[in-house]
Structure 1
Amino acid sequence: MVVFNGLLKIKICEAVSLKPTAWSLRHAVGPRPQTFLLDPYIALNVDDSRIGQTATKQKTNSPAWHDEFVTDVCNGRKIELAVFHDAPIGYDDFVANCTIQFEELLQNGSRHFEDWMPHKATSLSHMLLEER
């Protein structure tokens, strides 16, 4: 298994078409709960360590963050992005996640990676990764 050692720079750009979960709709009222807007943020982990969290974007299912995170990684195996809805009461609601293996990112020998990461069938986040 390939591991990553070095300085990692990740830019979380945006997500599109995030869908509220049934749990996040539990307090929605009105005839059209499918129009419910999320207050999304992304939690970013390398292996089991939290390295950052984007700001919460209010009332949108297609948020743009452009938040950058820089961290030293030792023996890193995977990056996980998890999207949550910032719930006003209680625990935040899980929306979607994506796990990326460093091995996949480093296969082409490039020190730069940019792509859309699929979370579920209809949601994506745009991520830029650079190895320094």
Structure 2
Amino acid sequence: MVVFNGLLKIKICEAVSLKPTAWSLRHAVGPRPQTFLLDPYIALNVDDSRIGQTATKQKTNSPAWHDEFVTDVCNGRKIELAVFHDAPIGYDDFVANCTIQFEELLQNGSRHFEDWWPRMAFEYCQTQICKLS
């Protein structure tokens, strides 16, 4: 398996058409739960280490963040992004996730890589990696 050592810069732009899970609807009242709006945020991990979290966007199923995260990575295998609903009571509710293998990003052999990743609920996730010499 390919590992990555270097500087990771990732920009989380937006998510579109997020759907509330049955669990997140458990406290919804009224006849139209399909209009339930989430309070989403994204947690960003490299392997099992949390490297950042976006701010919570209030009452939207298509949030925009444009947040950048920069971190040094040692022996990284994958980037994980998970969307959660910021629940007012108890634990936050899982909504969607995306995993990007560093091997996919490094296939072109370049020192710099930049691309847009349309995956699952994420409309755009811009990733730039810089390999150290």
Distance 1:9 1:58, change over 3 A: same
Q: Partners of 2:8 and 2:110 in 1: how far apart?
A: 13
SS at the partner of 1:61? coil
Shift of 1:111: 4.7
Distance 1:112 1:127, change over 3 A: closer
Shift of 1:120: 4.2
State the TM-score, normalized to the length of structure 1.
Answer: 0.86
> Identity, % of aligned pairs?
91
Deviating beyond 3 angstroms after TM superposition, the runs of 4 or more aligned structure 1 residues are: 110-121, 125-132
Gaps of 5+ in 2: none
Shift of 1:95: 0.3
Report the equivalent of 2:20: 20
In the TM superposition, what whole-angstrom CA distance separates every residue of 1:7-61 from its partner, at most 9, and x where no partner exists?
Answer: 1100000000000000000011111100100000000000000000000000000
Distance 1:109 1:96, change over 3 A: same
In the TM superposition, what whole-angstrom CA distance separates every residue of 1:53-86 from its partner, at most 9, and x where no partner exists?
Answer: 0000000000000001000000000000000000
SS at the partner of 1:119? coil
Mean Cα deviation higher: 82-91 or 105-114: 105-114
State the TM-score, normalized to the length of structure 2.
Answer: 0.86
Distance 1:130 1:82, change over 3 A: farther
Conserved 8 A contact 1:13-1:127: no
Number of residue pairs matched? 129
| Superposition RMSD in Å | 2.6
Shift of 1:131: 8.7
